[in-house]
Amino acid sequence: MAKVLVLYYSSWGHMEAMARAAAEGARAAGAEVTVKRVAELVPDEVARNSGYKLDQEAPVITDPNELAGYDGFVFGVPTRYGNMPSQMKNFLDQTGGLWAKGALIDKVATVMVSTATQHGGQESTVLTTQVVLQHHGMLIVPLSYAYAGQSGVDRMRGGSPYGMSVATDSDGSRWPDEEDLAGARFQGERLAKIAIKMHG
């Protein structure tokens, strides 16, 4: 059975919800799924005063070498100025030993994102995160237009051919709706199906 890790960072819980949905999709495809998050770097007092959601159920990943034990990855990455947040970058920067051994070559990976606004760096965050994964030799699984839910201008819709996305509004008041979560489930399921084909 293919093993999939859903690895995310979430300050206020939006990406946590998307990660859970992606995990549901991956499990539905038949993968063994683990959900973890990267460590918070913001001082605890600052995080609490800023309303960060610190009681997230997913455990914090502590050893970058753990990645070698998975066949596929869903990365949940909020944007910070059109790029990944420092918390995710800090974790990925610790994977040099895996890179040196080629331990992640030919594993499959996909990226989903959240932003405050519809045009706040969703696509650039997906693409720049993919660059890091490609340095490891990972094979990128995009959301693609196989997910039809991203098409249409009748309402706010998340997603691009590169990866699922959700817009949360500048004050974080908009939570992923059922359409957003459906896209995350689709992306997790697609990633898992490909991981199963490649790695059993």
From the number of C-beta atoms within 10 Å of its C-beta (0-12, 13-18, 19+), residue 30 rates as middle
Q: At what angle do helices 178-199 and 14-28 cross, to 10 degrees?
A: 50
Rounded mean pLDDT for each run of 10 residues along the chain, 200 residues in total = 97 97 98 98 95 96 98 97 97 98 98 93 96 98 92 80 94 91 97 93
Enter the tokens of residue 61. 């990943």
Per-residue model confidence (pLDDT) at position 192:
98
Enter the tokens of residue 40. 């918070």
What is the spatial distance between Cα 38 and Cα 20, in angstroms, rounded to a whole number?
15
Per-residue model confidence (pLDDT) at position 155:
75
Distance of CA 190 to the CA centre of its chain: 14
Per-residue model confidence (pLDDT) at position 148:
85
Output Rg (C-alpha) for the chain, integer angstroms: 16
